[in-house]
């Protein structure tokens, strides 16, 4: 049976979980549509999700659609849980991006759409909440075209928009007005289709061409509707089946897949959610998993003890996992999120979103819980590796990385409810980075005249890179000039040493190149190369110097015109750099940049100084050099 792995994505509160409920209801999986507010939805299964009314962890539900098994992945919308979204994006065949007809295109909407386009994930848009007061159609389509893509095709129109009686009238290729609009867009996306249109317009199959352009990311159908009333959802369902691709899989090949989620069964056993790209997975099968650690790939062997696949809703059945399916696999004791199954080629090449830019120290309310807290944090890190529990060198207590304050509250709740550990947090602080100020080289040659006794020749060059490029390691010597073990020792040491620069922050946005090598048979050891590499890097960092940079967010705020002075004062106290400002008789608008560390404080203060009427949107922009004395970490 063919499989379609479908993602539902949106800015928080746009209604993606409600849309998931409606799709399941229409497919006959559930007998009533659950409510996010009442905590009765299928995919928000955690007690914490039900209480807060937000999605925290990605969830999978399945339904049948005209002989197709759709594995629907509901993802978080809140920016604090963007890591969950990133993991889901790696396993999608297609996506539905949900936009509110009232709020329109929001910060997270733009981030998600750009990422889907970059990854080449075929995407449909669903404009939700057409039954809500303030819902828009024509001007919203203009906003979508301006902020997301001009390659959009509305697939229907809304009658009585903004009322409880809102209905959607679908368009079809029997309508000459719609067909003309579709042809205009499709000819712009394909020279071949344009040539065929000029040759014989009556012979065109516009529907097939639309499907082809959707699957290659050149077109995005837009459906209007309401997940609450069900208006327009049937047309969206038809579009999912008609326009999103169902890739062909190889059932006979070796099992190859990606682990995108890890949870623990009641008995504590690890359960890996695997998106299987080819081959099959059955119980008692021996699997190899691959993981990238400090720039090198490590492999682990494990024996599968049980396999379950999604069948109806959230229910799973014991079965052999077929290619294209999503399976829950038990028995892989070493497995972690992001591991590749069967082939290291399936490893992710890098993150789509910026890693967490904030961190906080967490300590147990009861000092006797210190060791249990460390174990509990490591368990949480198996679900979300970016939390990255680590020892804070200033306090000598555990610290975790965060995307925002809501995530901090979630971590506290999980530790309390699942592990019985009450915790306290220090004030959240920004994670800075260091960039090398200039290019430097260093060489250590074997011989008694060197500063170290190690039997190893190592030459290195450290070069500044483009902002946002990360840390890259490369060779300017033949791979055969060192054994694999010695070569790996150098690369691992580069990644390890550059976790901490001159001011204690990770060194990034640079390249380290191995420029010279030499060794003497078994006399040279991996430890020789580790210590020489670390010695050279310490020298090079001191010679090059580093620039400490802080994370910065872009922001846009709308507020009642009478509150402008208070808003500008608040932004000024947050060290904001204002880039745009204008006002109308009723509303003021300000945009610019502010340190990420200040965002939460601004969010907390704006409602009080604007009578709750401010609209504040923000997203990470970049790392910028710190002016004045650079802060030290430890």
DSSP string across 438-488: S-EEEEE-SSTTSSS--S-EEEEEEEE--TT--EEEEESS-GGGS-HHHHH
Are residues 408 and 366 in contact, defined by beta-carbon separation less than 8 angstroms? no
Quote the DSSP letter at residue 427: P
SS3 label, residue 593: strand
244 closest CA partner among 269, 268, 212: 212
The secondary structure of 476-529 as a DSSP string is SS-GGGS-HHHHHHHHHHHHHHTTS-TTSSEE-SEEEEEEEEE--GGGS-HHHH
Task: Please write the tens of the pLDDT for every residue from 600-620.
Answer: 899 889 989 998 888 888 888
Per-residue 3-state assignment (H helix, E strand, C coil) for 270-298? EEEEEEEEECCECCCCEEEEEEEECCEEE
Phi and psi for 456 in degrees, rounded to 5? -160, 135
Q: What is the pLDDT of residues 175-194, one digit of tens each?
A: 889 999 999 999 988 888 88
45 token code pair: 């299964």
Residues of the chain with pLDDT under 70: 34-56, 77-81, 294-295, 349-353, 393-394, 448-451, 634
- Order of strands, edge to edge, in the sheet holding 256-264? 296-303, 286-293, 340-341, 256-264, 270-278, 326-330, 306-312, 315-318
Q: Would you say 310 and 329 are in contact if contact means Cβ atoms under 8 Å apart?
A: no
Closest CA relative to residue 114, chosen from 87, 80, 148, 78:
148
Measure the CA–CA gap between 497 and 488, rounded to whole angstroms.
Answer: 14
Tracing tokens 């309508």 back to the chain, one arrives at 175
Q: Which residues contact 176 (CB under 8 A, 6 or more apart)?
A: none
Q: Which has the closest alpha carbon to 137: 48, 231, 72, 218?
A: 231
Query: Which residue shows structure tokens 């344009």?
Result: 194
- How far from 501 is each of 197, 294, 494, CA to CA, in Å? 61, 16, 12
pTM: 0.77
Backbone angles phi, psi at 461, to 5 degrees: -130, 130
Burial class (CB in 10 A: 0-12, 13-18, 19+), 601: middle
Nearest-angstrom CA–CA distance, 527 and 354? 33
* 464 bridge partner residues: 510
- Per-residue model confidence (pLDDT) at position 291: 85
Q: How many CB atoms lie within 10 A of CB 579?
A: 11
1, two tokens:
């049976």
CA 123 to chain centre: 16
Q: How far apart, in whole angstroms, are the C-alpha atoms of residue 364 and residue 424?
A: 6
First to last CA, the chain: 56
pLDDT reported for residue 605: 92
| Alpha carbons 248 and 200: distance in angstroms, whole number | 32
- CB atoms under 10 Å from CB of 190, counted, come to 17
Contact between 328 and 316 (Cβ < 8 Å): yes
**β-pairing verdict for 123-128 and 220-224:** parallel
């Amino acid at each position: 049976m063919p499989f379609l792995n479908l993602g539902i994505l949106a800015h928080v509160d746009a209604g993606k979980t409600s849309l998931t409920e409606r799709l399941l209801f229409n497919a006959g999986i559930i007998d009533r549509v659950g409510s996010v507010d009442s905590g009765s939805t299928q995919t928000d299964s955690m007690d914490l999700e039900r209480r807060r009314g937000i999605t925290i962890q990605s969830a999978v539900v399945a339904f049948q659609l005209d002989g197709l098994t759709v594995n629907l992945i509901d993802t978080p919308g809140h920016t604090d849980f963007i890591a969950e979204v990133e993991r889901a994006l790696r396993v999608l065949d297609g996506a539905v991006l949900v936009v509110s007809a009232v709020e329109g295109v929001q910060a997270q909407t733009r981030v998600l759409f750009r990422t889907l386009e970059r990854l080449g994930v075929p995407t449909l848009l669903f404009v939700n909440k057409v039954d809500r007061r303030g819902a828009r159609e024509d001007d919203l389509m203009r906003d979508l075209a301006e902020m997301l893509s001009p390659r959009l095709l509305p697939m229907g129109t809304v009658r009585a928009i903004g009322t409880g009686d809102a209905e959607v009238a679908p368009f079809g290729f029997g309508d000459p007005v719609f067909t003309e609009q579709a042809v205009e867009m499709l000819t712009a996306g394909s020279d071949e289709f344009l040539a065929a249109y000029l040759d014989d317009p009556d012979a065109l199959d516009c529907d097939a061409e639309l499907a082809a352009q959707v699957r290659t990311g050149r077109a995005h159908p837009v459906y209007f509707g309401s997940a609450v009333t069900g208006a327009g959802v049937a047309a969206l369902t038809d579009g999912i089946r008609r326009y999103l691709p169902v890739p062909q899989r190889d059932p006979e090949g070796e099992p190859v897949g990606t682990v995108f989620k890890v949870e623990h069964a009641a008995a504590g056993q690890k359960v890996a959610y695997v998106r299987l790209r080819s081959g099959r997975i059955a119980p008692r099968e021996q699997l190899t998993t691959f993981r990238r650690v400090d720039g090198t790939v490590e492999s682990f062997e494990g024996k599968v003890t049980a396999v379950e696949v999604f069948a109806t809703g959230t229910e799973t059945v014991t079965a052999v996992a077929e290619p294209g399916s999503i399976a829950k696999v038990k028995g892989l004791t070493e497995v972690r999120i992001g591991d590749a199954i069967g082939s290291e080629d399936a490893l992710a090449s890098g993150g789509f979103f910026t890693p967490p830019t904030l961190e906080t120290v967490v300590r147990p309310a009861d000092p006797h819980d210190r060791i249990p807290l460390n174990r509990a944090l490591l368990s949480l890190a198996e679900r979300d590796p970016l939390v990255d529990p680590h020892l804070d060198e200033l306090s000598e207590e555990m610290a975790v990385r965060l995307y925002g304050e809501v995530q901090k509250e979630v971590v506290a709740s999980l530790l309390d409810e699942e592990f019985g550990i009450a915790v306290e947090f220090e004030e959240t602080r920004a994670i800075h980075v260091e960039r090398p100020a200039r290019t430097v080289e260093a060489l250590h040659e074997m011989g008694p005249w060197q500063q170290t006794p190690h039997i190893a020749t190592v030459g290195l060059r450290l070069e500044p890179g483009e902002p946002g490029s990360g840390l890259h390691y490369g060779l300017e010597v033949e791979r055969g000039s060192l054994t694999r073990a010695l070569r790996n020792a150098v690369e691992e040491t580069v990644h390890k040493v550059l976790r901490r620069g001159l001011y204690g922050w990770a060194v990034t946005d640079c390249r380290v190149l191995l420029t010279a090598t030499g060794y003497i048979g078994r006399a040279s050891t991996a430890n020789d190369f580790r210590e020489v590499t670390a010695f050279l890097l310490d020298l090079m960092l001191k010679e090059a110097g580093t620039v400490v940079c802080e994370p910065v967010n872009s922001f846009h705020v709308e507020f009642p015109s009478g509150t402008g002075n208070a808003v500008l004062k608040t932004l000024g106290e947050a060290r904001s750099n204002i880039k745009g400002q204008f006002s109308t008789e009723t509303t003021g608008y300000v945009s610019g940049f502010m340190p990420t560390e200040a965002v939460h404080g601004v969010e907390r203060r704006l409602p009080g100084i604007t009578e709750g009427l401010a609209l504040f949107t923000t997203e990470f922009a970049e790392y910028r050099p710190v002016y004045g004395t650079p802060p030290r970490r430890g």
